[in-house]
Structure 1
Amino acid sequence: MTQVIILALYAESGVGAAMGFYGLAVSAAPVIAPTLSGLMVDHWGWQSIFWAAGGISTLVLVIAFPVMRNVLKTSADAHLDVLSFILAAFGFVGLQLGFSNLGVAPALSWQVLGALAVGAICLAVFVVRQLKIGHPMLQLRIFATRDFAVAVLLSMFLYAILIAGSTILPMYMQQMDGATVTISALAMLSGSLVMAVSSPVTGRVFDRFGIRPLAIGGMALLAVTMIPFGFLTDNTPIWWIAVVFAVRSVAVAMVMMPAATWGLASVERRYASDASALLTSLRTIAGALGSAVFVAVMVACGNNPTGVSIAFWAMVGVAVVGLIMAVVCCRRR
């Protein structure tokens, strides 16, 4: 909803900067969360995370009542297809469950293959239903817009790497490098700060130069900064991990919100809400699935520095695919 409102309120010349400031929250939050939660777990226990989340949600709700107002036209014809909602829920949960179990159960077991089959079948029926009914839950036909489809794929690759890296690195530092939860959390803080500073800057660069230099440069930098993590050992200094992670965060900021802005701007305005919902949902799901898959790769390869390195080399491969896509498909417009 936020992205749709930003597109509606800001002129074309300033939408990149506006989305960049929005990216302060969207891109920095998933990275700063391990830092805050690590400190909280060490000092107040893991339950404190949920108390804090409940308090924040309550505060946002209280602030929203006097501040939020309708800025877009509403429609009496708005319709939610309940069956589509159920199919999507079971589909994505099935995939998440199946990939999450890869590292702890046989590939042909019902925990893995069964869950993946249920998820795939539900999503296939969901897609067919969206294309056939008069009021689809999501307008999937907008994927025919080339720029939007490319933006969604780039965002999915990026989120898969972002969330997986932010999950595996603290695990490595605590279990294999001997760091405390607090130290590993502070090591991740550098990336959060760099990403927060970089997002508004990349938004202004997008307004001036378009998506192509940001997408190509960002995916290239992302691939390069993942390579050092492919050589982790039991004795890799924590400060080195923090430095490389901070540089990697610049790459994430170069692509994340500019790609979203570029993709949403390529879709007809009447489909803006569908496009935003698809982009946001699919990149978030890609982050969850990517984390599950890469953690499963790490566990399957020994749950040791070697397994961590192999998982990061797999992420390098994903980043290279994204780089090729950026070179071939991202235009300046």
Structure 2
Amino acid sequence: MISYTAGNFGLILTGRLIQAIGVGITFPTIQTVLLVIFPPEKRGSMMGLGGIVIGLAPALGPTVAGFILDNYSWRDLFGLMLIPVGIAIVMTIAFVRPVIEVKKSKIDVWAMMLSTIGFGALLYGLSSVGSDGWTSRIVITSIVVGLIFIGAFVRREWPQKEPFLNVRLLTIPSFTVASMITALSNTTMIGIQVVLPMYLQNVRGMSPLHSGLMILPGALIYGVVSLISGHLYDQMGGRRLALVGTFLLTIATVPFAMLTRQTSYSFIICEYTVLMIGVALVTMPLTAASSVDLKGIQLSHGTAVNSTMRQVMTSMGTAILGSVLANVMSNSNPAHSLLQSAPLVYRNQSYIAAMHGFRAAFLVATVFGIIDFIFACFVKNEKKGA
């Protein structure tokens, strides 16, 4: 509602921050409930079902947003969302009941402030790279301040009996490896989802709706494969799914780094679909696998750490891709004077500069995929005989 009625950017940002708080509470809660109420042998299937909600909605976002922007006002991006939000609130009041033991706990205000400043400064620094460059004082200062505050946050939380965020869980290898895989997979997916529509619209001249429709098949396939991958995890464990999923993710990302202005649309659709299959094979099954060595209250803490890693790394990855895109494009742009003396040459060189930027950004996404596959090699199969 705040963003829908906003009269300036500050109010839009405020509304988006409140939305982020709501999502930050809801998604970990969904995962915690699924992990608690279902036995380990059924967690994969249930997490796969939950993955449709958690993963499919962001994947469908570009298509829905493109349709709204092509036919209505930008305000309707927020206004139309009031309907499903209202339905969700009513259903929550009517059907949601406590399923796990609830106990009162104090909120560590200092830890919350340290984490907010730390992650906020780090993300601001990375986001500013595109406009200010890596050597900018504001970029370097923000990143350094962010790292210092994150370090202070970890130091404060480590000895706590009831931590704000149980970072000690990262000492459990199975949890850390599985969490890193899901975080990197999500980072690569969201990065491609951000950069690919920009390529389609800025280089290929597509409308927001048509660029969204280009990635719609992959989004739909993601929902189907999420269900299948959940059942497969219950039967064979996470190792094979992690290896196959991250391999498909990486292989599908490589061709994006070689896109041209003439690359066929069918090829782009197929590559994106393969990428989404890889992500679907990894995300929710490996989220379930991260809980294998967790017990009791550790499940809820593990979900919080997993979600934090995923959201922070996704934001950082998107910022890095955006900065690489902007920097490479800026460094490759032709001199502005050429626009007057040879406008056709200027236009052609501008296209070439844009392609250099997009290829560089997709190449970074490929690197994320390679690192993801390396982590997958360390997944241990918890299913005996599989």
Report if aligned partners of 2:115, 2:149 keep a CA contact under 8 Å in 1. Answer: yes
Report if aligned partners of 1:215, 1:330 keep a CA contact under 8 Å in 2. Answer: no
The RMSD of aligned alpha carbons is 1.4
> 1:242-272 deviations in whole A, cap 9, x for unaligned?
1211111000000000110000232122211
- Partner amino acid for 1:64? T
Asked if 1:64 corresponds to 2:92, the answer is yes
Report if aligned partners of 1:149, 1:263 keep a CA contact under 8 Å in 2. Answer: yes
- Partner amino acid for 1:326? A
Percent identity for Structure 1 against Structure 2: 26
The corresponding residue for 1:271 is: 298
Report if aligned partners of 1:103, 1:297 keep a CA contact under 8 Å in 2. Answer: yes
Listed as ranges, the gaps of 5+ residues in structure 1 are none
- Partner amino acid for 2:192? G
> 1:8-44 deviations in whole A, cap 9, x for unaligned?
2112221110100000011112211111011111111
Report if aligned partners of 2:126, 2:143 keep a CA contact under 8 Å in 1. Answer: yes
Cα separation, partners in 2 of 1:208 and 1:143, compared to 1, 3 Å: same
Q: Which has the larger radius of gyration?
A: 2
> 1:216-238 deviations in whole A, cap 9, x for unaligned?
00111111111111111112222
The corresponding residue for 1:15 is: 43
Matches of 1:98 and 1:15, distance apart in 2:
38
The number of equivalent residue pairs is: 332
Listed as ranges, the gaps of 5+ residues in structure 2 are 1-28, 330-352
The corresponding residue for 1:308 is: 358
Report if aligned partners of 2:133, 2:327 keep a CA contact under 8 Å in 1. Answer: no
The corresponding residue for 2:9 is: none
Asked if 1:128 corresponds to 2:178, the answer is no
- Partner amino acid for 2:355? P
- Partner amino acid for 1:35? T
Matches of 1:107 and 1:249, distance apart in 2:
31
Query: What is the Cα deviation at residue 106 of structure 1?
Result: 3.0
Structure number with greater CO (CA < 8 Å, separation at least 6) is 1
> 1:258-312 deviations in whole A, cap 9, x for unaligned?
1100002321222111100110121012111111101111111116112111211
Query: What is the Cα deviation at residue 205 of structure 1?
Result: 0.3
> Which one of the candidate residues 103, 107, 110 is aligned to 1:75?
103
Matches of 2:354 and 2:207, distance apart in 1:
17
The corresponding residue for 1:190 is: 217
- Partner amino acid for 2:100? L
Report if aligned partners of 1:177, 1:236 keep a CA contact under 8 Å in 2. Answer: no
Matches of 1:136 and 1:116, distance apart in 2:
25
Secondary structure of 1:169's partner?
helix
**TM-score, normalised with respect to structure 1:** 0.96
Report if aligned partners of 1:35, 1:184 keep a CA contact under 8 Å in 2. Answer: yes
- Partner amino acid for 1:171? M
> 1:192-236 deviations in whole A, cap 9, x for unaligned?
100011101000000000001100001111111111111111122
The corresponding residue for 2:378 is: 328
Report if aligned partners of 1:95, 1:115 keep a CA contact under 8 Å in 2. Answer: yes
**TM-score, normalised with respect to structure 2:** 0.83
Asked if 1:222 corresponds to 2:275, the answer is no
Asked if 1:118 corresponds to 2:145, the answer is yes
The corresponding residue for 2:334 is: none
Secondary structure of 2:294's partner?
coil
The corresponding residue for 2:233 is: 206
Moved more, 287-296 or 127-136: 127-136
> Which one of the candidate residues 76, 92, 102 is aligned to 2:119?
92
Moved more, 253-262 or 25-34: 25-34
Report if aligned partners of 1:173, 1:238 keep a CA contact under 8 Å in 2. Answer: no
Secondary structure of 1:301's partner?
helix
Query: What is the Cα deviation at residue 54 of structure 1?
Result: 3.1
- Partner amino acid for 2:354? N
Report if aligned partners of 1:298, 1:311 keep a CA contact under 8 Å in 2. Answer: yes
Query: What is the Cα deviation at residue 172 of structure 1?
Result: 0.4
Q: Trace 1:169-188 onto structure 2 (pairs within 5 A).
A: 169-188=196-215
